[in-house]
């Protein structure tokens, strides 16, 4: 099986006509790349978690809005801008919680608005392409920087707990929460232990994080979400790294459902709990986590998905939020590419230049 770090989760084809994504819904049993060029296919890939992880979604959105706009057959800039904005609005509806989706689309639109008066339509298409490439390359650099800062918090032999998947598969490369482990491997450390929460109901920990860590040669242990407390009680966990999809100005953050429970347990057992967050996921426009929109998904993900037969009574009501919000007072620190923010987070964010 290929090392996950060698798999590109989201790229543009060499002829710049297709979005190429690793279909993460098939992992770990099948490694398959999808080639997408239609609006509804790109939207579906984001919604259905074929491409997932906040940074990877942002890269996919940037390439996606470029591709759809590049297909427009018009030389009129005003008309081109109208079509761009229609494509942007459509893609932006795929996932409401991950801020990187709208962040990347807005960044692409800013380029359009800033330079539409000085470029022809063909030139604008090339400019949008270069901006999308820049978003991907910056994501790789950001992930590596977060990994380096997180690595400095580790000791040889540490046991690391992670929830969901915030590794290389969730970004352009390296990841966020798993990036410190990849940096440790580069430094020659081979005695870290990684514990992966299963992460019900979509099993990103079981299917993706465990796949990443095992194929990278890391001592990997999979556990059901409700086993984390006992693992902490028995001293197996020294530090916790998680990713995030949106951070509020006060340090509250949204991440995959179950993260807040892990943070509460970590507080009880006195285990450092770090959030790995590119600055693009920090939304200073919202003061606290109650303002974060939480996506709710289909009940079948809980009652039927992954099972040969339905595993819940027909007609039972299902509560299936994709994310929860963790209070800032449960967070030891937030690792960004610019440095580690410590409480009070609103002050730390400003010191790091995050506005």
Strand partners, 22: 33
Picking from 6, 11, 275, the residue whose alpha carbon sits closest to that of residue 137 is 11
Q: Tell me, what DSSP letter sits at residue 295?
A: P
Q: Which residue among the candidates 92, 197, 238, 245 is catalytic per the annotation?
A: 245
Provide the H-helix boundaries in the chain.
39-47, 54-70, 77-91, 99-115, 121-151, 179-186, 204, 210-215, 228-233, 259-269, 300-303, 345-351
Axis crossing angle, helix 99-115 with helix 121-151, rounded to the nearest 10: 140
Can you read off the two tokens belonging to residue 147?
């990994």
Distant-in-sequence contacts of 128-134, Cβ < 8 A, 24+ apart: 128/65, 128/66, 128/69, 128/70, 129/12, 129/16, 129/66, 129/70, 131/62, 131/66, 131/107, 132/12, 132/59, 132/62, 132/63, 132/65, 132/66, 132/108, 133/12
Edge-to-edge strand ranges of the sheet holding 10-12? 10-12, 19-22, 33-36
Structure tokens at 149: 């800062």
Query: Does 73 participate in catalysis according to the annotation?
Result: no
The dihedral through the CA atoms of 199, 200, 206, 208 has a sign that is: negative
Give the residue numbers marked as catalytic: 245
């Amino acid at each position: 099986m290929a090392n996950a770090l060698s798999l590109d989760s989201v790229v543009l084809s060499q002829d710049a006509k297709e979005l190429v994504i690793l279909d993460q819904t098939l992992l770990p049993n099948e490694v398959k790349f999808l080639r997408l060029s239609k609006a509804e296919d790109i939207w579906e890939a984001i919604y259905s978690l074929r491409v997932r992880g906040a940074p990877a979604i942002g890269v996919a959105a940037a390439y996606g809005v470029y591709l759809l706009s590049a297909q427009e057959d018009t030389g009129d800039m005003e008309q081109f801008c109208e079509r761009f904005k229609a494509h942007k609005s459509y893609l932006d509806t795929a996932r409401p919680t991950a801020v990187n989706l709208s962040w990347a689309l807005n960044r692409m639109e800013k380029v359009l608005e800033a330079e539409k008066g000085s470029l022809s339509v063909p030139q604008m298409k090339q400019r949008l392409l270069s901006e999308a490439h820049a978003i991907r390359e910056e994501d790789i650099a950001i992930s590596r920087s977060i990994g380096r800062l997180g690595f400095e918090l580790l000791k040889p032999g540490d046991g690391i707990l992670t929830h969901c998947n915030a590794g290389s598969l969730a970004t352009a490369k390296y990841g966020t929460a798993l990036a410190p482990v990849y940096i440790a491997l580069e430094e020659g450390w081979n005695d870290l232990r990684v514990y992966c929460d299963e992460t019900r109901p979509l099993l990103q920990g079981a299917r993706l994080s465990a796949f990443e860590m095992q194929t990278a040669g890391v001592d990997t242990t999979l556990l059901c979400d409700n086993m984390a407390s006992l693992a902490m009680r028995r001293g197996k966990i020294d530090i916790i790294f998680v990713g995030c999809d949106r951070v509020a100005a006060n340090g509250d953050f949204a991440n995959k459902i179950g993260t807040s429970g892990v943070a509460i347990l970590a507080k009880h057992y006195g285990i450092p709990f770090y959030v790995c967050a590119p600055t693009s996921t920090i939304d200073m426009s919202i003061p606290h986590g109650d303002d974060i929109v939480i996506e709710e998904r289909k009940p079948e993900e809980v009652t039927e998905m992954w099972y040969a037969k339905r595993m819940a009574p027909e007609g039972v009501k299902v509560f299936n939020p994709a994310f929860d919000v963790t209070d800032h007072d449960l967070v030891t620190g937030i690792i960004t590419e610019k440095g580690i923010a410590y409480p009070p987070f609103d002050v730390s964010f400003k010191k790091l230049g995050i506005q």
